[in-house]
Structure 1
Amino acid sequence: MKKTRWAQGLTGAIVVSVALTGCQTGGQGQDKTAKAPEAKAGDQAGKPAPAANADGKVLDKKIEVSVFMRPRPESVESNDLLWMKPIVDKTNVNFKWLKAPTDNNDYIEKFNLTLAGGTLPDLMEATPDLLNKGGENGVFEPLNKLIDQHMPNFKKILEQNPAILKDIKSDDGNIYFFPQISAVKTINLVIYRQDWLEKLGLKEPKTTEEIYQVLKAFKEKDPNGNGKNDEIPFTTRNKIKGLLPFVEPFGVSFEEDFYVDNGKVKYTYTDPRLKDALAFTAKLYSEGLIDKEYITNDQKIWESRFTNEVSGATFDSFPRVDYLEKLVAKANPKVNMNGLTPLQGPAGAPYTKSQQTLIKNGFAISSKSKLKTEIAKMQDWFYSPEGQLAMNFGKLGETYTMENNEPKYTDLVMKDKNNSPLIKMYELGHREFAYAWDIRYENAMVPPKLAKIRDSVAPFIKEKYPVTLSFKQPERDVLNSKFTEITTYKDEMINKFIMGSEPLSKFDDYVKQIDKMGIDAVLKIQQASYDRYLKR
């Protein structure tokens, strides 16, 4: 399928963007100069707006759009909830949500099964790679003409932000999905009991040796004060990725399967530096400083570790500082949760690759949908100044107010006794459709303490391997066969090394086995895709 005239016209802008940005070791991710667009209320002059009808509705008649998207355990999928109802009323769109799993792996499996079934919903959420794959195979509709003809707000965002276009454009020149556009980069960090630290007379750890001593003190010096040796110093609900802060100080990251070194794509899990990272992590595990059940912990068990005051540290998203503090406060009002900046280790300067990428997930339209134009118009409203306010802040007068031309959440969101503001928003019906996240969304939601923690991590973020690469079908066939097998083996062995059931003296044998399984063929494909990405 040929590019539309509009998409061709922006190609030059993409090339210029790449040339100005340059290539950095560790992967070409989000352009550091790129910023997600903000919806400035009261300052909409000169900005495009979707064509509205006489009654102010986006569409002139009511329609029902079926949607397959990740649910939130805290949210009920309903068109009548406080957050969703104004959106439904404005767009004239009633959403029919198909049942979907919350677990990421289960969701991807159900996504693929839905595609294989042939009967698709109108809209489907997934990662850019999965949506591009579907688009290139004719499952999802190319959006170029729809954007050109019916989406002035989204079109302007792409014209003003070449980095966004670069990340959503497939190698065949088409756009197959509407993106969720991030506003900030900080996401995960070590969260810990500051009150435990103070009780034991310890300082905030800055190095791998210091975090070892802190966790050892949490284990041996009874910080919960119950007279029992029952502490599990560090826990996680994020399985192997939850151990990231103990690995990155050695120069490798569980955040990326691949990384770029002087323009060459390499595989993270055969990097020689990984052996030392695993040795340190295995030491923590063997001494009982890391939760023995980190592989199987779910949300409830993770929460119980803190509500029962047996754990004093975890690795999670920064809003969970407030969330965990409120949970623990029910048992201990004196709790004080805090967050750490990345640890110094043998690799040199502290860093992290745990970040919110410029493009999160996306939504694609089924090529068989009879509502393509209507969905495009609805989606364009999501990207409009008015729509962004609705998606980010909810209903004016109830979930937010305007003060000095800035949105501010009401007490309904901010002062719930049992929920953090973010969880309360989900409870009220907030859904993460494709729109531009507004930095004011977080600035209004997080208290000063949380904002300070978030911003303290930002300078340490290092670009990671792009998540928006596109692959040709023969390349996908190789990845589906060889890399799937390699990943299964890698996951098994990494956990065995950490848990001590496999000695690290066999690390070199593990690397040789991955070589035999065909990692060179996988790297060749990744290199080709990465090179194409740079030329978009």
Structure 2
Amino acid sequence: MMIKRWLAGALALLIMGAFAPVQAETSFTFAGYEPETLYREWSTNLFFQRMQEKMGIELNFKQFTSLEKWTNEKRGYQADGELPDVLFKAALTPAETIDLLEKEILIDLRPLLEEHAPNAWQCILDTPGVLEAITMPNGQIGALPFLSALPTVNFMWVNQTWLNTLKLQAPTNQEELTNILLAFQNKDPNGNTKKDEIPLGFLGPYDLKHLAHIFGIVANDFNLYLDENGQVCHMAGHPQFYAFLAYMRELYQQGLLDPSGFRTADSLRMVTKEKSAQTYGIILTPSVGYLFPQQWLGDYALLPPLYFEGKQVYRPIASNIQTRTFAITSACSKPELALRWVDYLFTEEGAILAANGQENVDYVFDGDGTWRKTQSSENRDFIRNSLISGGCPYPGVDTIDFQVKYYDPSIARVKEEIDLYQDAIVMPFAHKALTFNEEQEVEAMQMVLGRFFDEEIVRFVIGEKELNQTNYQEMLTELERKGLSQFLSFWQNIQ
């Protein structure tokens, strides 16, 4: 998508030698965060070695595998102290970015981007909302983003094999969903003669609230949305929220929701053996590949958002803009070269190197234009040893247009299905850059309000608390007592 818009310009720059190796000896120190669970060592990772060969820039690393230690590192930086040249996989919060810019620890990238990172700058201009998202209140740009074609989404996946077995069509609305779930429950779609099917799998109130789209409700992680008049509202007060709770209660009573959904974890739902019985009919997860064996991927299809009053709406987990992944400090003597280095990741060639590896080494193209992995890239250690994707977001763009050329047609099918979500995605509330003080203020309020609200959802759904108008109004009253009006005013005032 976005790659196509600027690929021609990027190719022209490549032809002109824009990414030829630097002649003079240059080295930078990169500091950043990589989760310990990835077991990735930047100093030996092939991605950085290949970038050094291409750009002629030697890299030294100060890598953190603890987010707490990395956060303490960033917040301990002083302008007159020892600083790295670049923050890579920086995981900068808006408050940290504002603070580091004000202290002149980070430099303002905005005056440099058009000349020294033209591909990144063009991506920023071409993708709606990016410039606003990465620009601080004072107009400066402290860090570059990662851009993807679609926001991160907690998709609904349906067992297409079960639908085929039962000769059913995927549901498009609430009534059809109920009928499908009842069929999954009672007609033994996995064929093992056991009543072990879980019609709808979910993980806690967070997943369950995604199903509120069936009633036209989409809210963010703070349970907030903007109404048609631009007023900040809480989903508890949405005109359809009571009906949503009633429907969830109905599904739970009928055994159509996973009975362990409020107490399970992904590690407990995960299936590793191909020959295990499939038990989930519909499940919410960003990727079924994370939970189930690769051989099962063809059995599951994305279930498009259901219709409510003729419209489809759905909330993302996160924007398609992963902000503040790459920043340059005041210690960097050649920021233009650091930008030139990162600009390569905003080209298709650089994006593929970061996420898929090197052509004719890690993947090859077939005569029909499709590509496949080489034997070396099938190695279990390939991602951690050869790529930089995964873990903390890195700067650049996604490779969706490359991915759909994979020789396995099921990958292309998933891309087509993902497009079904494109027009339904609603950003319920634009996130604003907050200062440290504002972050602390809102986190304290959310800790109280969010926990109480989620607990009330659980109580109503499992029947611990009877769902009636009296108890529902008591919940709203208690939210108000716990500071809901103040919470809404806070967000209204920063719009």
TM-score, normalising length: structure 2 = 0.80
Distance, in Å, in 2 between the alignment partners of 1:165 and 1:147 is 12
Distance, in Å, in 2 between the alignment partners of 1:183 and 1:414 is 28
Q: 1:487 to 1:364 in 2, by over 3 A?
A: farther
- The answer to whether 1:504 aligns with 2:467 is yes
Alignment correspondent of 2:235: 268
Task: Look up the SS of the partner of 2:421 in the other structure.
Answer: helix
1:12-27 paired onto structure 2 within 5 Å? none
- The answer to whether 1:481 aligns with 2:449 is no
Alignment correspondent of 1:349: 311
1:129-528 paired onto structure 2 within 5 Å? 129-135=94-100, 138=103, 140-145=106-111, 147=113, 150-161=116-127, 163-185=129-151, 187-236=153-202, 238-256=203-221, 257-261=223-227, 262-304=229-271, 307-317=276-286, 320=288, 324=292, 326-328=294-296, 336-345=299-308, 347-354=309-316, 357-365=319-327, 373=335, 375-384=338-347, 386-401=349-364, 409-412=371-374, 428-431=386-389, 432-445=393-406, 447-467=411-431, 469-472=432-435, 475-505=438-468, 506-528=471-493
Q: Could you tell me how far 1:434 is from its partner in structure 2? A: 0.9
Task: Look up the SS of the partner of 2:132 in the other structure.
Answer: helix
Q: 1:515 to 1:205 in 2, by over 3 A?
A: same
Alignment correspondent of 1:533: none
Structure 1 gaps of 5+ residues are 1-33, 101-106, 330-334, 531-536
Distance, in Å, in 1 between the alignment partners of 2:53 and 2:463 is 57
Matched residue type, 2:397: A
Task: Look up the SS of the partner of 2:218 in the other structure.
Answer: coil
Q: Could you tell me how far 1:182 is from its partner in structure 2? A: 1.5
Matched residue type, 2:157: I
Q: 1:50, 1:381 within 8 Å by CA — same for their partners in 2?
A: no
Task: Look up the SS of the partner of 1:353 in the other structure.
Answer: coil
Q: 1:185 to 1:65 in 2, by over 3 A?
A: closer
Matched residue type, 1:216: L
Matched residue type, 1:45: A
Q: Could you tell me how far 1:35 is from its partner in structure 2? A: 4.2
Q: 1:344 to 1:278 in 2, by over 3 A?
A: same
Q: 2:200, 2:283 within 8 Å by CA — same for their partners in 1?
A: yes
Question: Identical aligned pairs, as a percentage?
Answer: 20
Q: Could you tell me how far 1:173 is from its partner in structure 2? A: 1.3
Q: 1:285 to 1:60 in 2, by over 3 A?
A: farther
Q: 1:49, 1:381 within 8 Å by CA — same for their partners in 2?
A: no
Q: 1:199 to 1:179 in 2, by over 3 A?
A: same
Q: 1:131, 1:176 within 8 Å by CA — same for their partners in 2?
A: no
Q: 1:133 to 1:286 in 2, by over 3 A?
A: farther
Matched residue type, 2:312: P
Q: 1:442 to 1:203 in 2, by over 3 A?
A: same
Q: 2:449, 2:482 within 8 Å by CA — same for their partners in 1?
A: yes
Q: 1:125 to 1:37 in 2, by over 3 A?
A: farther
Q: 1:387 to 1:227 in 2, by over 3 A?
A: closer
Q: 1:65, 1:96 within 8 Å by CA — same for their partners in 2?
A: yes
C-alpha RMSD of matched pairs (Å): 4.0
Q: Could you tell me how far 1:359 is from its partner in structure 2? A: 0.9
Distance, in Å, in 1 between the alignment partners of 2:41 and 2:176 is 45
Alignment correspondent of 1:4: none
Q: 1:49, 1:384 within 8 Å by CA — same for their partners in 2?
A: no
Alignment deviations for residues 6-37 of structure 1 (CA, whole Å, 9 cap, x no partner): xxxxxxxxxxxxxxxxxxxxxxxxxxxx9467
Task: Look up the SS of the partner of 2:65 in the other structure.
Answer: coil
Q: 1:72 to 1:434 in 2, by over 3 A?
A: farther
Q: 1:392, 1:441 within 8 Å by CA — same for their partners in 2?
A: no
TM-score, normalising length: structure 1 = 0.74
Q: Could you tell me how far 1:221 is from its partner in structure 2? A: 2.7
Q: Could you tell me how far 1:338 is from its partner in structure 2? A: 1.7
Task: Look up the SS of the partner of 1:233 in the other structure.
Answer: strand
Task: Look up the SS of the partner of 2:32 in the other structure.
Answer: strand
Q: Which one is further off, 498-507 or 509-518?
A: 498-507
Q: 2:348, 2:399 within 8 Å by CA — same for their partners in 1?
A: no
Matched residue type, 1:509: E
The number of residue pairs the alignment matches comes to 473
Distance, in Å, in 2 between the alignment partners of 1:181 and 1:413 is 29
